[in-house]
């Protein structure tokens, strides 16, 4: 079958699932906002429990990550993510899911080569770029003569 460029494009668009932005964007807004508000509530709780500002922030991350992994394990995250899209992907819960989901899914390929390797298939690039960017920033600060 020979196709010119426009024919290919129309076939490609027909074959790729369309995302109806009108529904997706508000869903992402509400879900993402709700997760952030939940984070804020947790932070207030941790601060009241006597944690420092920095520890409270780290504790919020850990708690939301636990929630993300738990929802993934209960197979609820998938359903929520289908509806909320970026609303669950972009908050730190999405990072948790990106590690937990392949860890569970690739169990069939073995514990080491499946679970332990595949759990970093999305988190790996995130950590590589994140760490490299932070080192680069640190080097710039150091060269600029110490931090503020």
Partner 1 sequence: MIYLKAFLVGGLICALSQILIDRTRLTPARILSAYVVLGVALTGLGLWEPVVRFAGCGATVPLLGFGYAMAQGVRSAVAESGLLGAFTGGLTAAAGGVAAAVFFSLLAAVFFSAGDRS
> Residue 3 or residue 70: which is nearer to partner 1 going by CB?
70
103 in Cβ contact with 127 (< 8 Å): no
98 in Cβ contact with 123 (< 8 Å): yes
Min separation Cβ 140 and partner 1, Å:
7
118 in Cβ contact with 103 (< 8 Å): yes
**62 makes contact with partner 1 (CB under 8 A):** yes
Taking the C-alpha atoms of residue 92 and residue 98, their distance in angstroms, rounded to an integer, is: 10
Footprint of partner 1 on residues 69-128 (CB under 8 A)? 69-70, 72-75, 85-87, 89-92, 94-96, 98-101, 103-105, 107, 111, 115-116, 119, 121-123, 125-128
Handedness of CA 124, 127, 133, 139 (dihedral sign): negative
Footprint of partner 1 on residues 6-45 (CB under 8 A)? 16, 19, 21, 24-37, 39-41, 43
> Residue 2 or residue 18: which is nearer to partner 1 going by CB?
18
């Amino acid at each position: 079958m020979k196709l010119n460029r426009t024919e290919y494009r129309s076939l490609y668009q027909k074959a790729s699932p369309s995302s109806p932005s009108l529904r997706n964007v508000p869903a992402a807004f509400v879900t993402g906002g709700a997760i952030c508000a939940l984070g804020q509530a947790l932070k207030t709780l941790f601060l009241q429990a006597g944690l420092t500002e920095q520890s409270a922030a780290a504790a919020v991350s850990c708690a939301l990550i636990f929630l993300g992994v738990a929802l993934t394990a209960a197979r609820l995250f998938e359903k929520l993510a289908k509806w909320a899209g970026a609303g669950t992907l972009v908050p730190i819960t999405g990072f948790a899911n990106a590690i937990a989901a392949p860890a569970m899914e690739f169990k069939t390929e073995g514990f080491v080569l499946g679970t332990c390797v595949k759990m970093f298939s999305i988190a790996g690039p995130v950590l590589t770029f994140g760490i490299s960017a932070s080192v680069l920033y640190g080097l710039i600060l150091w060269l600029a003569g110490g931090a503020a």
